[in-house]
A and B are shown apart, each in its own frame.
Chain A
Amino acid sequence: MLIYAVKRLSVAILVALTVSLLTFSMIYLSGDPAMALAGEAATQADIENIRRVYGYDQPIYVQYFDWLGNALKGNLGQSHYLNSPVSEVIFTRLPVTMILGASALSFGLLLAIPLGVLAAMRPNTLIDRFALGLAVIGQALPSFWFALIMIFFFGVALRWLPITGSDSWLNFVMPSIALGYYITPAVMRLTRAGMIEVLSSDYIRTARAKGLRPSIVLFKHALRNAIIPVVSLAAVQFGFMLGGSIVIETIFAINGLGQLAWESILRADLPMMQAIVLVLSCFYIILTLVADILNAFLDPRIRVS
Chain B
Amino acid sequence: MFRKVIAITALAAAVTLTVQPVAHAGKANDELVWSTNREATIADPYYNNTRELVIIGNSVWDGLLFRNLETGEFVPLLAKSYKWIDNVTIDFELRNDVKFHDGSSFGPEDVVYTVKHVSNKDNGVLTFKNVSWMKDAEKTGANTVRIHLHKPFPAALAYFAQAVFMMPDGHYTSAKANAEGKKNYGAVKPIGTGPYKITSVVPGESIKMVKNDGYMKNGPKGQPSIGKLTFRTLKEMNTQIAELLTGGVDMIWDVPKDQAVKLKDSGRATVTNAKTMRISYIAFDVDGGSGNPAFKNKKVREAVAHAINRKSIVENLVGPASVVIDSACHPDQFGCTQDVKKWDYDPAKAKALLKEAGYEKGITTDIYAYRQREFTEAVIGDLANVGIQANMKFMQYRALRDLVWKGTPPIHHMTWGSNSIPDVSAITSHFFSGGRDDPAKDPKVAAALKIADTSVDPEVRKAKYKEALEIISSELYWLPMFTYAKYYAYGNEVDFTPTPDEIPRFYTAKWK
Contacts and interface: CB of A to CB of B under 8 A. Distances in A.
Interface of A: 30-33, 35-46, 49-50, 53-55, 70, 75, 77-78, 81-85, 89, 93, 148, 151-152, 155-156, 159-164, 170, 173, 250-253, 255, 259-260, 263, 266, 268
Interface of B: 16-17, 19-21, 39, 41-42, 47, 49-50, 121-124, 126-129, 132, 178-180, 182, 184-187, 202-205, 232-236, 238-239, 242-243, 245-246, 248, 396-402, 405, 416-419, 426, 430, 435-437
Contact of B203 (A36, A37, A89): A89
Given A45-B132, A160-B16, A260-B204, A268 B398 contact: yes
B21 A170 contact: yes
Contacts of A45: 128-129, 132
Contacts of A30: 396, 398-399
A156 B180 contact: no
Nearest to A161: B21
A39 B49 contact: yes
User: Which of A38, A40, A263, A266 has the most chain B CB atoms inside 10 A of its CB?
Assistant: A40
Given A151-B242, A250-B236, A55 B185 contact: no
A31 B402 contact: yes
Given A44-B435, A45-B129, A78-B184, 17 more contacts: A35-B398, A35-B402, A38-B126, A42-B127, A70-B179, A78-B178, A155-B246, A160-B17, A161-B16, A162-B248, A163-B242, A163-B248, A170-B21, A250-B235, A250-B236, A263-B204, A266-B396
A253 B127 contact: no
15 contacts: A33-B398, A42-B128, A43-B129, A53-B121, A55-B180, A75-B179, A84-B203, A159-B20, A163-B246, A173-B16, A253-B232, A253-B233, A255-B204, A259-B235, A266-B396
Contacts of B129: 41-43, 45-46
Contacts of B19: 170
Contact of B47 (A83, A93, A156, A163): A83
A270 B128 CA distance: 22
B435 A253 contact: no
For the complex of A and B, list the 6 residue pairs with the smallest distance between their C-beta atoms, beginning with the closest.
A31-B398, A31-B399, A162-B21, A83-B186, A39-B49, A53-B124
A39 B396 contact: no
Contacts of A37: 126
Given A82-B42, A155-B246, A164 B234 contact: yes
Contacts of B126: 37-39, 42, 46, 50
Contacts of A255: 202, 204-205, 233
A261 to B, nearest CB: 11
Contacts of A46: 126-129, 132
A36 B400 CA distance: 11
Contact of B127 (A38, A162, A170, A251): A38
Contacts of B121: 49, 53
Contacts of B17: 160
Contact of B398 (A36, A41, A170, A253): A36
Contacts of A260: 204
Contacts of B238: 148, 151, 251
Contacts of B437: 44
A272 to B, nearest CB: 11
A155 B430 contact: no
B235 A253 contact: yes
A35 B406 CA distance: 14
Contacts of B21: 159-162, 170
Nearest to A55: B180
B180 A78 contact: yes
Contacts of B418: 41
A260 B203 CA distance: 10
Contacts of A160: 16-17, 21
B236 A251 contact: yes
B299 to A, nearest CB: 32
Contact of A83 (B184, B242, B416): B184
B127 A39 contact: yes
Nearest to B420: A41
A31 B398 CA distance: 5
Nearest to B179: A75
Contacts of A159: 20-21, 246
A151 B236 CA distance: 12
Nearest to B421: A41
Given A44-B437, A83-B42, A156 B242 contact: yes
Nearest to B5: A114
A268 B396 CA distance: 11
A43 B402 CA distance: 12
A134 B238 CA distance: 26
Nearest to A93: B204
B242 A152 contact: yes
A119 B437 CA distance: 64
B283 to A, nearest CB: 15
Contacts of B20: 159
A251 B186 CA distance: 28
B239 A251 contact: yes
Given A83-B42, A159-B246, A49 B128 contact: yes
B255 to A, nearest CB: 16
Given A31-B398, A50-B124, A152-B242, A43 B204 contact: no
A35 B395 CA distance: 14
A27 to B, nearest CB: 10
Nearest to B38: A263
A216 to B, nearest CB: 16
A44 B433 CA distance: 12
Given A53-B121, A78-B180, A164-B248, A32 B398 contact: yes
B476 to A, nearest CB: 24
B185 A83 contact: yes
Contacts of A250: 235-236
A173 B398 CA distance: 37
Contacts of A41: 49, 127, 129, 416-419, 426
A44 to B, nearest CB: 5
A105 to B, nearest CB: 18
Contacts of A53: 121-124
B211 to A, nearest CB: 24
B246 A84 contact: no
A160 B246 CA distance: 11
